[in-house]
Amino acid sequence: MTAPKLHSVAPEKKSRVLIVDDNPTNVELLFAHLKPHGYTLDKAFDGEAALKRIEENPPDLILLDLMMPKLSGYEVCQQVKSDPKTQFIPVIVITALKELHDKIKAIEMGADDFLMKPFNKVELITRVKSLLKLKELYDDVDRSETIIFTLAEMLEAKDVYTRGHSERVAKYSVLLARHIGLDEQDQEWIRRGALLHDVGKIGVRESILNKPEKLSQEELAHIRSHPARGCEICRTLNSLSPVLPIIRHHHERVDGLGYPDGIGDKEITIGPRIVSIADAYDAMTSNRPYRKGIPPADALKIFQKEKANGQWDPELVGQFIELIKSETGI
Ligand SMILES: [Fe+2]
């Protein structure tokens, strides 16, 4: 008997290429060159139409003319590269412009490669293939990240007491990061780190996670292994490396009495400092199996009282109190 083929249940995905040029002859020519390679081809004749197509049906690669009516190729490129949903779509600029400064401008707008008109067919296919390969790799990373984020979400969703915890911690963390003036990129890393901060609880026994009674030494050690476990899970993806300190150090204390590494004020970076405050605030104000949540005003009083006790960064706690007061009107 012949063994069934794996690819028979997972048909190969056809890459989508969007061709953007105001000259129909150029579009037809590119169609003719690319069609035999099995790509799904799409076209747009001006910048605005291109952005509309990209939003409706994101391509895997864009071949982009620069000089077009309505919206130039530069503007299209800039918009594609500044939107997190489309930033990894490779853009090849096709232009008759020979001037160096035009190339530099396109690079500044985020273009991945160039082809000069009249273009060489072999060169075109080679560049398209290699950038599509790169896009496939980005998509793989994206899928792997999605799996990890979904795992973290599923872990919380199982338990009525933890449902939505990481989402809320992420929300407070980003508010605090913005409040102290961190830039958008850092805010995004903090958001992702906060969403994943407890992902290591996947490896912690459920009977311990939900135990209302006091934990034994062994059980406490087991639950305290979650930051290191979480870090190991996310370490498998290079793309998540900026969030590893948040996951590993969200239970460290500035006096060095936290876990897992017992690092102190000098070594704890800003990400885990922020997330540990947001984590504590959400833990205090939410119901748990063993106690009811307290009102936000009471949580802020605890922060105020404990501000300098060595658990958190006192300066950041001060900022957090100010922030929550202004957000809630307490
Ligand atoms: Fe935790």
How do the pLDDT tens digits run along the chain, 330 residues long?
455 555 444 445 789 999 999 999 999 999 999 999 999 999 999 999 999 999 999 999 999 998 888 899 999 999 999 987 899 999 999 887 666 777 788 888 899 998 888 888 999 999 999 999 999 988 988 888 888 899 888 888 877 778 899 999 999 999 999 999 999 999 999 999 999 999 999 888 888 877 778 889 999 999 999 999 999 999 988 889 999 999 999 999 999 999 999 999 999 999 999 999 999 999 999 987 778 899 999 999 999 999 889 999 999 999 999 999 999 888
Q: What are phi and psi of 207, to 5 degrees?
A: -60, -30
User: Beta 16-20 vs 61-65: how paired, if at all?
Assistant: parallel
**pLDDT number for residue 99:** 67
Distance 249 CA to ligand 1 centre (A): 9
Distance 250 CA to ligand 1 centre (A): 6
Name the residues around ion ligand 1, CB cutoff 5 A: 198
* Dihedral angle of Cα 125, 129, 135, 139, to the nearest 10 degrees: 130
DSSP assignment letter at 114: E
Instruction: Tell me which of 3.30.365.10, 3.40.50.2300, 1.10.1740.10, 3.30.750.24 is the CATH number of domain 13-139.
Output: 3.40.50.2300
Distance 222 CA to ligand 1 centre (A): 12
Distance 162 CA to ligand 1 centre (A): 11
**pLDDT number for residue 8:** 46
Residues forming CATH 3.40.50.2300 domain(s) in the chain: 13-139
Are 91 and 80 in contact by the 8 Å Cβ rule? The answer is yes
Distance 106 CA to ligand 1 centre (A): 44
Are 114 and 106 in contact by the 8 Å Cβ rule? The answer is yes
Span 158-328 CATH architecture? Orthogonal Bundle (1.10)
**pLDDT number for residue 238:** 85
Distance 198 CA to ligand 1 centre (A): 5
DSSP assignment letter at 37: G
The distance in angstroms from the start CA to the end CA of the chain is 73
**pLDDT number for residue 329:** 87
Distance 216 CA to ligand 1 centre (A): 18
Residues forming CATH 1.10.3210.10 domain(s) in the chain: 158-328
pTM of the model: 0.74
Distance 153 CA to ligand 1 centre (A): 14
**pLDDT number for residue 109:** 87
Distance 67 CA to ligand 1 centre (A): 53
| Residues forming the active site | 201
Q: What are phi and psi of 91, to 5 degrees?
A: -120, 120
Q: 240 vs 148, 193, 215, 243, 304, CA distance in Å?
A: 10, 9, 32, 6, 34
Are 199 and 151 in contact by the 8 Å Cβ rule? The answer is yes
